[in-house]
Amino acid sequence: MRSLIPWRAGEKVVDQMRNEMDDMFSRFFGLPAEIPGDGEIAVWAPRLDVSETDKAFIVKADLPGVEPKDVEVSVRDGVLTLKGEKREVREEKEKNYHRTERFVGRFFRSVELPAGADEENVLATAGKGVLTVSIPKKPEMQPKKIAVKAEE
C-alpha cells in the first residue's frame, strides 16, 4: 500500500512517532504485553536510560517501589533482559474510614547489546528506585590512546 505521506525521507521519524504514541496509549490504558518466550504478561515497562563510557555500557531503569530481590537481570545472546514484579500497598486509616489500595504488576524490558559487550562480567546495583546495570566493553573494543610525539 502506498503511503499518503508526501515525503519519503521522513518515514522513519513518523514511524518512531507512531510507535511512541502507541506506547503512550498502551501505558495509559494499561494494555498488557506478552513477555517473549515466557508466556507471561507484563503490566508495565520501566523507562530506561542507556549510555556509553570508554569502558562500559550503562543501562539505568526507573523502578520506584521495587525491591532488588524482585528484579531478575539476565544476558543471553547479546540481549540484556530486565524483568520482575512490583508490589505496592497503600493504607490510609482515619476516624471515619479505612482505605487500602494494592498494585501488583509484572514488568519486562530488553535491550540489544552492541558488539563488544562483555556479557560475562555484568554488574547490577539498585538504590533509590533506580537499577543500574553496567556491561563492560571487551578490552579489544576499548579505545586505545596513542601518544603523539613531537618531531625533532
User: Residue 1: what pLDDT?
Assistant: 46
Q: What is the pLDDT of residue 56?
A: 93
How is residue 29 annotated by DSSP? H
Q: Domains in the chain, please, with CATH?
A: 46-140 (2.60.40.790)
Residue for grid cell 495509559: 28
Mean pLDDT of the 62-90 span:
90
Task: Please give the residue that has the higher pLDDT: either 44 or 82.
Answer: 82
Contact 102, 39 (CB under 8 A): no
pLDDT of residue 118: 93
Q: What is the DSSP letter of 55?
A: S
What does the block give as the cell for 128? Answer: 533509590
Residues of the chain above pLDDT 90, percent:
36
Task: Yes or no: say if 136 and 52 are a contact pair by the CB < 8 Å rule.
Answer: no
